[in-house]
Structure 1
Amino acid sequence: MRLDLDPRTIAQARALAAKVGDPIVEMAKKHTTVAVERATLRLAGLAGADPDGTPWVNHLVDAVRADVGLEHGVALPVWQALAAHDNDLSRLAEEAAAGQVTFHLPEGAEAELAAKHAREAVGVGIARLDASRVERERMIAEIGDAPRKPWIYLIVATGDIYEDIPQAQAAAREGADIIAVIRSTGQSLLDYVPEGATREGFAGTYATQENFRLMRAALDETSRELGRYVRLTNYASGLCMPEIAALAGMERLDMMLNDSMYGILFRDINPVRTFVDQRLSRQIHARAGIIINTGEDNYLTTADAVEAAHTVTTSQLLNEYFAKEAGLEDWQLGLGHAFEINPDVPDSFRLELAHALLAKTIFPDAPLKWMPPTRHMTGDIFKGYLLDGFFNLAGAMTDQGILLVGMMTEAVVTPWISDRDLALQNVRYVMDAAGRLGEDFHPAPDGFIANRAREVLGESIDLLGKIIDEPNGLLDAIADGTFGLMKRPADAGKGLEGVAVKSEAYYNPASTILEGEE
């Protein structure tokens, strides 16, 4: 089921999004960040942390930056030092942390040799991304995939990875197709990735390489038991976006939360830092075959879901542009939207259908991520269960690709396993009873739903035009509070000190390999 929208209007919206997004991409190409350089070292195999928990990648990048600056990248100074000291990366990082190494930027033949060795080392990490992608495809072919769409997406996160695992396996046995391990509150603001398996976290579990490995292994076991591949999701956002993307790719995660503006708007992370980090993280996702989930649903938790509907469409168009520029394909674009209209608004369900169908019509080949009601969940669990049922019905009718399970205890308590089971029963009933309703349901071409969709698309086109007219384009729009009512200027926010303008001598083997330049 699709809306009868003018293809020329949709093409106009995409062209305007490209015009808004292109200066941001050019800006990202001209900068690097500490997280980009740390991600490069992680792809080259550097792991572990000192006794205080500070990762060796942080120590090594900080040491290089102190000696020669960040603007050249860390690859050339690091691999020159490796040759000079006859070291491996781990030992070099330890010596750098102890102040026993001085770095310099090599030139000429010395630089060429350092670049060659850096490229070889990072190439091993890229090959690991490739191998994880092949293994995922092999397992799906061997075991089987989820039997139907939408995929049912369920959040599990206790803070303790060893408690998360049995809960995730139980959720999969009850019908979940995707397990999302929500991150511990505040991790997005840490400028390092914690090390090892973690057993403490607030409202979530830390995203670490070992936690990724443990959960993936557990879900592989359950996938074989159930005869269908169970997908795993985590968060590549915040101040360590490209690093977490690299770790997730190597450990075969299947989806990652990765939005172009979420960290800016809702975590006050510097816009330039975010856009630079996002570009490399999405290039890694593209190579690893990971589906991204974007965060447009969050706008509707702070802004009115009817009045701000066009900002969701605008952000989806921008997320699509940035994603495709980084190499992601349509099947990897889990663009976000949500069932967040106040249920007291007349025709609220018809409006929800209009917004959901608009997204599906503009992005027909994307596995859209449909988010359940949260803002208007009052604590009345019976009303909440009804709202979740209507949300599931809208998802079934409009052919959403990824359906996050709504909890009737939203805004009351952290859900128990029994709450998740009841929520999954709700989903199963609606999908079994009405999962093919879209074959029979066709909105009138000039009816309420179609006209509302055209109205929202028109408002999105108008907004994109206004952003283009801003002196600094999207950066000014973000600073003015256009999205989610959050005002975030480009010269402020967390992580700005970790950004550097690239020099003419800049070299990063991860970027050159992922962009197909070598």
Structure 2
Amino acid sequence: MTQPARLPLDAELIARARRLAQRAGQPVVDLATSHTTVAVERAMLRLAGLSGADPDGIPWVNRLLDAVRSDVGIAHGAALPVFHSLLSEGHQDLTLLAHKAAAGAVTFTMPTGAEADAAREASRSAVAGGLARVDAGRLERDRMVGEIGDPPQRPWIYLIVATGDIYEDIPQAQAAARAGADVIAVIRSTGQSLLDYVPEGATREGFAGTYATGENFRLMRAALDETSRELGRYVRLCNYASGLCMPEIAALAGMHRLDMMLNDSMYGILFRDINPIRTFVDQRLSRQIHARAGIIINTGEDNYLTTADAVEAAHTVTVSQLLNEFFAHEAGLPDQLLGLGHAFEINPDLTDSFRMELAHAMLARQLFPDCPLKWMPPTRHMTGDVFKGNLLDGFFNLAGAMTGQGILLVGMMTEAVVTPWLSDRDIALQNVRYVLNACGGLVEDFHPPADGFIARRAQQVLGEAVELLEKIVDDGLLRAIGEGTFGIMKRPADAGRGLDGVEKHAEDYYNPASDLLENSSGEE
């Protein structure tokens, strides 16, 4: 991908920003590596092969973990008590064990000595089987891309499809791909991030989105594989690994060969009031799984600018990008899988708004040259005037072409009016195709002056980001989040949804998924 012109940014200031982000983020990593959550333990059980749900729709992983938690807690991890019971009491498999546990017919205990060793080995072998599925999916993606080919251009065109009914989503997604979309994102049903379980099976009802389930993942991936072969380019599938089941959804995505996942370190904290510690613990394992699966993560900095002013709060986006970069690298994600987010959200009525948008976009592109940045269209200042909206989306597309963005989300002129119709998507895709085709390699020719407005604005935002990082290092990231630093949402570390599902590791804590993923190279 051709890189845009470089702004005369202070190299030492950039290096200092990264050092500060590491210092700000390390205490959170220390928290994540010394705590577990119910979702982390359920993700381990899913990788070990447990699936399905009871007649009430509650997944067996929930039923089994609830019984373990009731008997011995999760501070030691669920692997040893579960696999000790499996080995010592002659249960056929995890599913049968979960059935009996849900009926109260099993009492879990912590094994010691040789029994603990046997349970550890059995759990490790079972989880390795799940990771083998993840590895096979990554190899299949590589094979298909090699055979069929990637989209011929960057940025990749990213389009959202979600009706609530997976069987309606499929033909819409295939139609969108035929019309030019390179990435299909199936947005989740409103409120799914607050469910402390993952629904089971194919779903046909959802509000403003479709439930993320393993079966829905499988169905959509199979359909897009068919369309990829038809079109002669690999169409990528995106969903959402966030909320109270973040690591579980990451595991399902890896096992069903999704290609991208929304996975921001702070989105659930700020916009869903999920406990910060719960979120940071869950997101670390989810990112380790994504790294193993070769899944590109997309972060959510664009959301800050839907609540905070896009000019005054521009530096908070840069700070979050730097923190997301540190957390991603620490979990094993390389730059090529790190789709950092930012957005075209400055009030269009402001003088020089487009020049500032270019400055912010160029700053992100220069700070993260090897990342497939995800560039988000205007939403906050869309008024329902579809003609003005289509024009504003055209300017957004132009900024993306001029600054070398990696993933361009298609803006909808009907934003804030209706859930888009197929005809709306077609008009929006025409807008994207026209701008990208007309601009061609404009990124090669766009060279703002070193002492001009764009360069000065980018340097200003970088300086403000460093000042904020210095304050965060002094005060602590959890306190900064609690004080409303990002997106003006105040989320203290001792509150929020899911806190009761967090436990500090006991001295003998063991989780084979964490153990196998810790230094994962993508192969077992």
Give me the TM-score of the superposition, normalised by structure 2: 0.98
User: Structure 2: how far apart are the matches of 1:226 and 1:469?
Assistant: 53
Alignment partner of 1:507 is 2:510: yes
In the aligned structure 1, how far is the partner of 2:17 from the partner of 2:64? 44
Spell out the pairing of 1:343-422 with structure 2 (5 A cutoff): 343-422=348-427
Structure 1 distance, partners of 2:447, 2:219, is 45
Given the alignment, which residue of 188, 192, 196 partners 1:187? Answer: 192
Distance 2:49 2:11 in 1: 47
How many Å apart are 1:436 and its aligned residue? 1.2
The structure 1 residue matched to 2:454, chosen from 437, 449, 455, is 449
Deviation at 1:230, TM superposition (A): 0.0
Cα distance per residue 1:225-284 (max 9 Å; x no partner) = 000000000000000000000000000000000000000000000000000000000000
- Answering whether residue 16 of structure 2 is matched by residue 12 of structure 1, we say yes
DSSP-derived class of the 2:297 partner: strand
Report the Cα offset of residue 486 of structure 1: 0.0
1:88-487 paired onto structure 2 within 5 Å = 88-470=93-475, 473-487=476-490
Give the letter aligned to residue 319 of structure 1: N
Specify the code of the residue in structure 2 equivalent to 1:51.
P
Give the equivalent residue in structure 1 for 2:28.
24
Secondary structure at the aligned position of 2:375 is classed as strand
The CA distance in 1 between the partners of 2:335 and 2:51, in whole Å, is 33
- Asked if the contact 1:73/1:506 (under 8 Å) is kept, the reply is yes
* Equivalent-residue separation in structure 2 for 1:355 and 1:341 (angstroms): 10
Superposition deviation, residue 475 in structure 1: 0.3
Distance in 2 (alpha carbons) for counterparts of 1:335 and 1:419: 27
Contact 1:157 1:182 in 2 (8 A): yes
Name the CA distance, whole Å, in 1 between partners of 2:187 and 2:69.
32
Q: By how many angstroms is 1:426 displaced?
A: 0.2
How much does 1:317 deviate? 0.2
Question: Which amino acid in 2 is paired with 1:478?
Answer: I
Shift of 1:5: 1.4
* Structure 2 counterpart SS, 1:500: strand
Q: TM-score, normalised by structure 1?
A: 0.99
1:39 aligns with 2:43: yes
Q: CA RMSD in A?
A: 0.7
What SS does structure 2 have at the residue aligned with 1:152?
strand
Amino acid at match of 1:436: G
Percent identity at matched positions?
78
For the residue of structure 2 that corresponds to 1:403, the secondary structure is strand
Shift of 1:85: 1.8
Q: Which runs of 4+ in 1 moved over 3 A?
A: none
Greater displacement, 280-289 / 434-443? 434-443
Q: 1:4 and 1:80 mapped to 2: Cα distance?
A: 61
Q: Is the Cα contact below 8 Å between 1:397 and 1:435 reproduced in 2?
A: no
Query: What is the CA distance between 1:435 and its match in structure 2?
Result: 3.1
Judge conservation of contact 1:31–1:499 (CA < 8 Å) in 2: yes
* Matched positions, count: 516
Separation in structure 1 between the aligned mates of residue 435 and residue 462 of structure 2, nearest angstrom: 29
The whole-number CA distance in structure 2 between the counterparts of 1:190 and 1:514 is: 26
- Kindly provide the amino acid, as one letter, of the partner of residue 241 in structure 2: A
Quote how far apart the aligned CAs of 1:113 are.
Answer: 0.5
SS at match of 1:314: helix
Report the residue type matching 1:387 in the other structure: L
2:58 corresponds to 1:54: yes
Deviation at 1:438, TM superposition (A): 1.2
Deviations 1:368-403 (A, max 9, x none): 000000000000000000000000000000000000
Distance in 2 between residues matched to 1:394 and 1:198, nearest whole Å: 38
Aligned partners of 2:409, 2:440: CA distance in 1, in Å? Answer: 15
Distance in 2 between the 1:4 and 1:36 partners? Answer: 44
Q: Secondary structure at the match of 1:483?
A: coil
Shift of 1:130: 0.6
**Offset, 1:286:** 0.2
CA distance in 1, matches of 2:28, 2:442: 41
Question: What per-residue deviation string (whole Å, max 9, x for no partner) do you get for residues 285-315 of structure 1?
Answer: 0000000000000000000000000000000
State whether residues 233 and 255 of structure 1, in contact with CA within 8 Å, keep that contact through their aligned partners in structure 2. yes
SS of the aligned residue for 2:212 comes to coil
2:192 is aligned with what amino acid?
Q
1:468 Cα shift? 0.9
1:318 Cα deviation (Å)?
0.2
SS at match of 2:336: helix
Aligned to 1:490: 493
Q: CA deviation at 1:84?
A: 1.5
CA distance in 2, matches of 1:116, 1:510: 12
Gaps of 5+ in 1: none
- How do residues 65-104 of structure 1 correspond to structure 2 at under 5 angstroms? 65-87=69-91, 88-104=93-109
What secondary structure is seen at the aligned counterpart in 2 of 1:39?
A: helix
**1:47-81 CA distance string (max 9 Å, x none):** 00000000000011110010011100000000000
Question: Which whole-Å deviations, capped at 9, do the CAs of 1:185-212 have from their partners, x for residues lacking one?
Answer: 0000000000000000000000000000
- 5+ residue gaps, structure 2: none
Secondary structure in 2 aligned to 1:11? helix
Amino acid of the structure 2 residue aligned with 1:77: P
CA apart distance, 1:516? 2.7
